[in-house]
Structure 1
Amino acid sequence: MVMVASAWTRPVIAPLVVALMKGPALTHSTSSFPPAEAAAPSLSVLIVDDHPMVREGLAGILMRSGIEVAGLGATGRQAIELFQSTRPDVVLLDLRLPDSSGVQVLREIRALDADARVVMLTSSQADAEIYSAMSAGASGYLLKGIDGSTLVQQLRHVASGGRAMSPEALEKFTDYLTSRKLSEREIEVLRLVAKGNSNKEIAAQLFVTEDTIKVHVRSMLAKLHASDRTQAVVIAIQRGLLEL
């Protein structure tokens, strides 16, 4: 019976990327509704999304595949209550909920059960949000464009102890990790770039040569995958490396 509500320890990131890349490949199926898998091991999933059509659509896909839908929730509070009462194998959680962020709900669930497996299902490809979710202990980060067959495959993979991430999200996640490897000096230079200083002006303020600053700028652009100084500043602000 599907329950419907009435109204998480930071992982080591480097091994996480390796584990994600070793997981089953995410492919695009021609069908969003996979055939029933009667022989597959039983699995229970709690679905939390504030859009009724999304919840019901996901429930239909999972039940058609022989997966038990432990409950349907629309808010962070309902997610916590349903998790405590149903103890599902996997929680499928939206990133943005009316009363809380999905990452905060993820942390609360992980506080209740450090072994809880929570997969974020969202349309957001913001690298900072992906990093926030994965560093909070998410077992996966899937985009809502995923087809039903692949979703079922990934949920089973997570339930067996694996991790899952859409290719686009994995790429942004690894790029974000690379950008966080900026040295203190590079961040210092970037901060001065953001204030409108030229290489010559930055060199004078830091008591180094202009050629040294050029080396730092080239390194920053490469790590941030930025085409110019302005884009580098924008990316750094988006990722929380700089504050306005």
Structure 2
Amino acid sequence: MPSRQAPVKVFIADDSVLIRDRVAAMFEASAMNVVGWAATPQSAIEGILSAAPDVVVLDVQLEGGSGLQVLRAVRQAAPDIAFVVFSSNSGPAYRKRYAAEGAEVFLDKSIEFDQLVDVVIKASRHGAALIPDN
């Protein structure tokens, strides 16, 4: 009998309640476990370090700060947690900066929403950089 893999544990850091709810519903429908969410950088850092998710879905713009603050702080304390940046602020400068800080993938909310579940699964299994060089 094949062994069952534990569900992917995901933390959502986004200041939009609508986006958080929609993303959480997508993950739960895909048998992923949403272990927490936050709207501010500080609550995201604390929640992520406490919940120890496999993957963090991170927005660039958070209430009172940026996702980059979260990425840097968590990377330093828990380098094995994968980050998927999921934002409407998806220009090349953002992509390059987040990749340089260790994000695995950067998706644009407006055109790549449907890819999020698959990308989170891949990021949780591989932990390798998946961001294209564009």
Q: Shorter chain as normaliser: what TM range?
A: 0.7 to 0.9
* Cα contact 1:40–1:66 (8 A) shared by 2: no
- Tell me the equivalent position of 1:43: 8
- Tell me the equivalent position of 1:127: 92
Distance 2:27 2:15 in 1: 18
Question: Number of residue pairs matched?
Answer: 129
Distance 1:51 1:92 in 2: 13
Distance 2:121 2:129 in 1: 10
Unaligned runs of 5+ in 2: none
* Cα contact 2:13–2:39 (8 A) shared by 1: yes
Matches within 5 A, 1:20-99: 41-99=6-64
Distance 2:59 2:76 in 1: 18
Instruction: Give the greater-gyration-radius structure (CA).
Output: 1
Distance 1:66 1:163 in 2: 24
Matches within 5 A, 1:140-179: 140-144=105-109, 145-148=111-114, 150-161=115-126, 162-165=128-131, 170=132, 173-174=133-134
* Cα contact 2:9–2:32 (8 A) shared by 1: yes
Identical positions, percent: 30
Distance 1:138 1:89 in 2: 13
Which structure has the highest strand share of the two?
2
Match of 1:136 among 101, 104, 113: 101
* Cα contact 1:50–1:74 (8 A) shared by 2: yes
Q: TM-score, normalised by structure 2?
A: 0.88
Q: Provide the aligned C-alpha RMSD in A.
A: 1.6
Unaligned runs of 5+ in 1: 1-38, 175-244
